[in-house]
Chain A
Amino acid sequence: MAAIDEASHNKMRFSIYDAKFRGIVMQLAAIGGVTAFAYFIISNTAKNLLDRGISTGFGFVSTPAGYDVSQMLVFFPEPVTHGQMFIVGLLNTLVVAGLGVVLATILGLVMGIMRMSLNWLSAGVAYAYVDSLRNVPVLLQILFWYGVLLALPGVRQSIGLFGIAQLNNRGLFVPQPIVQDGFGLVLLAFALAIAASVALAVWARKRQRETGEAFPVIQSSIALIVVLPVLTYFLSGRPLEWDFPVQKGFGFNGGMVISPEFTALLLALVLYTGTYIAEIFRSAIQSVSTGQREAAAALGLQPNQMMKLVLIPQAMRVAVPQLTSQYLNLTKNSSLAVAIGYPDLVATFGGTTLNQTGQAVEVIAITMGVYLTISLLISVFMNWFNACVALKER
């Protein structure tokens, strides 16, 4: 359309029948409309805030919050300000979203593969899992698991898990690691092992390119990463102690507790997002044409080589964009924590702080800004990853 217009008349006529002129008029009208709407909203808001005596500005972030939350990953001296509560909430959101993404990917991968299995029972289990939990709202699942966890027996009848952890209606009590002197050595060994594995992979790849000889990289890397830190741990005199939870009266001494709110939220998010990820992996692997499998079989590749060298690289191209949007969904869904009182960003800052200060505009703007930033960061990372796995064409 535009090409024809440019060729026929380069000069713009000030008439409604000129496409260029019409375009400019329409854009000016749109911008004018949006500006007028924004002015209407802003002036109304200013008037309303004045009427209600609500102060504006971001001064409230340094005032004391005056409320407490159950899960603080960073320590702030009393009195905790609203700004510090923001950080507490943000960290809690990031923890549940990060763990959720990792666990949902693992669950989705396992279920996706099970659903393609020739074994009727495992395919059936995966099918039932995907089609049941995918069609139930995630908020309902969060509330359901929270209800289940709260209905567990009390502290005195705690359910012991292998003698290590204790499960009751106040949460999951697990041993707490206590770092002694010399634990840095173990961490150093761990880092060394990872570096050595990367170097090994590079060397093995180069050797295979040149000579065609394969090297069991994954097996030797796992061995390296497990053996080296464990060996250092025992040689340096076991510099890590575990503080086990011991029941005392109506509570526990020692150890640390994972709250029912956190467990319920994480469980529901992982189970719900896992159904979508399972379908993504299944459709991605099935989207690789049969000819590719037959060709790989004809080349004499072993099934696991076929998976690693032929199927997964091609399936990843299909899967990565869809995975990105699921990771984003999981992060956004973690905001449903507010329904069960897990102190995430929306519950602490967007909830209690908003109610205490009444500064809805500022609080909601900051909260939305945080989610937009997280979404943007995940998108940027996944786009970079997608560019790595995308088809390299000349």
Chain B
Amino acid sequence: MSFTDELIPPSPPPASARVNLLTLIRTRLFGSIGSTIVSVLILYLLIRYVPPLLNWLIFSADWIGTSREDCTSGGACWAVITARFRLFIVGFYPAEQVWRVWIAFTLLPVALGYCLVEKLPYRRYGLTFAGFYPLITAILLAGGLGLPEVATSKWGGLLLTLVCGLTGIVVSLPLGVILALGRRSNLPAISSLCVIFIEFIRGVPLITILFMSSVMLPLFLPPGTTMDQMLRALVGISLFASAYMAEVIRSGLQSIPKGQYEAADALGLGYWQSMRLIILPQALKIVIPGIVSTFISLFKDTSLVLIIGLYDLLGIANATITDTKWIGLSNEVYVFTALVYWVFCFSMSRYSLYLEDKLHKGHKKK
């Protein structure tokens, strides 16, 4: 392929040259012989494969039905999704209690909004609410304060995926800050403890950590105590996320000029005061894009809990495929599941890009 001709930046067109669509198509699709060959090849593949794909996905698909036999038109059998939609969203959460999940889902955008968007009315109350949101949701979902208890083994689908992801996020931020500060501490014992923890977690696959938390955690506890299967997975996910978060935050701490540390010392601030008031506000702001991309990986990684037997979104998808009523529909189920993950991850990555843009603009103005 001729990729070398774009290495020299194209000189700007003369002021008089009118750029119309035809010229653009000519230069951008058929600019050179190599480019033309590539364009024709890609166009051929698109025309050959995209219409049948769209046909399968949308136009000749079946949307409603109660079993595989209802899908007769030859396209995708989306009936499997519509029939089992609640299973995909909340898992085996009891039907008469499911309103609690809907309330938690409705409050989530409010809490997130106050965390992410700066200009909202009643920001102070909103942030306080966001701070209490995990506690409120925990009581709402698990039970307590008069609400009947719902065992975590009933949680599933998108609900479980979000619980795993959000718990990982909420725990990993403070833990990550502490680990990052510890790693940069000039007390050798503390910094080496943090280094050992971070590098150990980052060196092994998440699946071995999940195995460890599901198989070995019960062994670690005093005989007789038991621990919830979901809680064990959450411990593993949180520890894993904290180590990665610590490295992101450390890179932010390193990028703060030495003068800031010295200025904080000169003001007579103690270690924790200078970190809280001077260093961390600047460091965390710089690494927000890195933090968001850690969240994206974390959200994708929560799918691994299916291997230790939890029914998260992907776990429900896997269970659906082996259901005798819907057997052989793996393509439909996986495409739908992938779409759900994609919507969450893609919007997070766009948000991160927007933030990066905003941060760069701030630097340019100065």
Contact = CB atoms under 8 A, between A and B. Distances in A.
A77 to B, nearest CB: 30
A140 B314 CA distance: 7
Interface stretch (A152-160, A212-220, A302-310): A302-310
13 contacts: A26-B187, A48-B223, A121-B29, A125-B42, A137-B301, A140-B334, A147-B321, A293-B9, A303-B5, A336-B205, A336-B304, A336-B307, A354-B211
A377 to B, nearest CB: 11
B39 A121 contact: yes
Given A135-B349, A346-B208, A371-B205, A293 B7 contact: yes
Contacts of A30: 189-190, 193
Interface string A125-154: 100000110111111110110011001000
Which residue among B27, B31, B207, B296 has the maximum number of chain A CB atoms within 10 Å of its CB? B207
B118 interface: no
Contacts of A336: 205, 207, 304, 307
A15 interface: no
Given A136-B341, A137-B303, A368-B204, A131 B220 contact: no
B265 to A, nearest CB: 5
Interface string B300-344: 110110110000001001100100000010110010011001100
B265 A140 contact: no
B300 A371 contact: no
Interface of B: 1, 3-10, 27-29, 31, 35, 38-39, 42-43, 186-190, 193, 200, 202-208, 211-212, 215-216, 218-223, 261, 265, 271, 296, 300-301, 303-304, 306-307, 314, 317-318, 321, 328, 330-331, 334, 337-338, 341-342, 345-346, 349
A247 B60 CA distance: 37
Given A48-B218, A140-B341, A364 B212 contact: yes
B358 to A, nearest CB: 19
Interface in A21-76: 23, 26-28, 30-31, 34, 41, 44-45, 47-49, 51
A294 B11 CA distance: 11
Nearest to B10: A118
A181 B44 CA distance: 47
Contacts of A41: 220
3 A-B pairs with least C-beta separation: A303-B4, A147-B330, A135-B345
Nearest to B225: A44
Contacts of B202: 375
B300 A137 contact: yes
Given A125-B42, A364-B215, A304 B4 contact: yes
A338 interface: yes
A361 B220 CA distance: 10
B265 A118 contact: no
Given A45-B220, A131-B346, A139-B306, A27 B187 contact: yes
A85 B24 CA distance: 60
Contact of B331 (A47, A141, A147, A361): A147
A113 interface: yes
Given A368-B204, A372-B204, A151 B39 contact: no
A372 B207 CA distance: 14
Given A135-B349, A147-B330, A375 B203 contact: yes
B203 A371 contact: yes
B35 A119 contact: yes
Given A26-B187, A122-B42, A375-B203, A139 B331 contact: no
Contacts of A48: 218-219, 223
B221 A34 contact: no
A178 B115 CA distance: 64
B219 A49 contact: yes
A122 B223 contact: no
Q: Determine which residue in A26, A116, A135, A303 has the highest number of CB atoms from chain B within 10 A of its CB, and name it.
A: A135
A349 B333 CA distance: 31
Given A143-B334, A144-B330, A372 B200 contact: yes
Given A307-B4, A361-B216, A119 B38 contact: yes
A119 B341 contact: no
A297 to B, nearest CB: 5
A335 interface: yes
Interface core residue of B4, B188, B193 (most chain A CB under 10 Å): B4
B226 to A, nearest CB: 12
A311 B203 contact: no
B337 to A, nearest CB: 6
A113 B3 CA distance: 7
B351 to A, nearest CB: 13
A202 B35 CA distance: 35
Contacts of A354: 211, 215
Interface centre among A118, A141, A307, A339 (most CB of B within 10 A): A118
Given A44-B222, A143-B314, A338-B207, A121 B43 contact: yes
B220 A119 contact: no
B187 A144 contact: no
Contacts of B314: 137, 139-140, 143
Nearest to A132: B342
Contacts of B35: 117-119
Given A27-B190, A364-B216, A332 B204 contact: yes
B318 A4 contact: no
A257 interface: no
B28 A350 contact: no
Contacts of B337: 140
Contacts of A259: none
B119 to A, nearest CB: 28
A118 B334 contact: no
A143 B318 contact: yes
Nearest to A335: B205
Contact of B28 (A119, A147, A375): A119
Contacts of B3: 113-114, 116-117
A362 to B, nearest CB: 11
Nearest to B190: A30
A335 B331 CA distance: 23
Contacts of A162: none
Contacts of A44: 219-223
Contact of A290 (B9, B43, B188, B203): B9
B212 A118 contact: no
Interface string A99-124: 00000000000000110111111100
